[in-house]
Structure 1
Amino acid sequence: MKASKVAYKPVGLALGAASGMVAGAAFKQAWKIIEGEGDTPDATDEDRTWKQILLAAAIQGAIFAVVKASVDRSGAVALRRLTGTWPG
C-alpha cells in the first residue's frame, strides 16, 4: 500500500464525518424549501405519505452523494498539492 494512501486514511475519515454533518444540514434546509416544514420525514413516520418519504430519501441520498464526492475530491487534491502524490 502506498504511503500517501496510508497517510490519507485519517484525513479521509475526518473529512467523511464532516461531510456527513454538512450534508445533514443541507438536507434539512432543502426539505424546508421543498415542503415548507421543519421536520424531515423518517420512513416510519405514520403521518407521512409514501410520496413524502420517498421524495425525502431521494433528495437526502443525492445531497449526501454530492457532498461526499466534493469533499473526497477536495481532500485528494489538497493531499496532492501537499505531497505531490495522489492518494488513490
Structure 2
Amino acid sequence: MKASAIAYRPVGLALGALSGMIASTAFKQTWKLIEGEGDAPDATDEDRPWRQILIAAAVQGAIFAVVKATVERSGAQATRRLTGTWPG
C-alpha cells in the first residue's frame, strides 16, 4: 500500500463522517419539502404506507450517494493539490 494511501486513511474517515452529517441534514430538509412533515418514515413505521416509505428510502439513498461522492472526490482533489499524488 502506498504511503499516500495510508496517510489519506484518517482524512477519508473524517470526510466520511462529515458527508454523513451533511447528507442527513440535506435529507431532512428535502423530506420537509416533499411531504411537509418533520420526520421521514422508518421502514418499521406501522402508520405509514409502503409508497411513502419506499420514496423516502430512495430519496435518502440518492442524497447520501451524491453527497458522499462529492465530499470524497473533493478530498481526493485537495490531497492531490497538497501532495502531488492521488490518494488510493
Report the counterpart of residue 33 of structure 2 in structure 1. Answer: 33
- Structure 2 distance, partners of 1:48, 1:28, is 17
With structure 2 as the length reference, what TM-score do the two structures score? 0.99
Measured after TM superposition, the shift of residue 69 of structure 1 is 0.2
Unmatched runs of 5 consecutive residues or more in structure 1: none
Measured after TM superposition, the shift of residue 78 of structure 1 is 0.3
With structure 1 as the length reference, what TM-score do the two structures score? 0.99
Measured after TM superposition, the shift of residue 37 of structure 1 is 0.4
- Structure 2 distance, partners of 1:35, 1:66, is 21
List per-residue Cα deviations over 1:10-65 (Å, max 9, x = no partner).
Answer: 00000000100100000000000000100111000011000000000000000000
Report the counterpart of residue 7 of structure 1 in structure 2. Answer: 7
Measured after TM superposition, the shift of residue 82 of structure 1 is 0.3
Report the counterpart of residue 57 of structure 1 in structure 2. Answer: 57
Report the counterpart of residue 17 of structure 1 in structure 2. Answer: 17
C-alpha RMSD over aligned residues? 0.4
- Off by >4 Å, runs of 4+ in structure 1: none
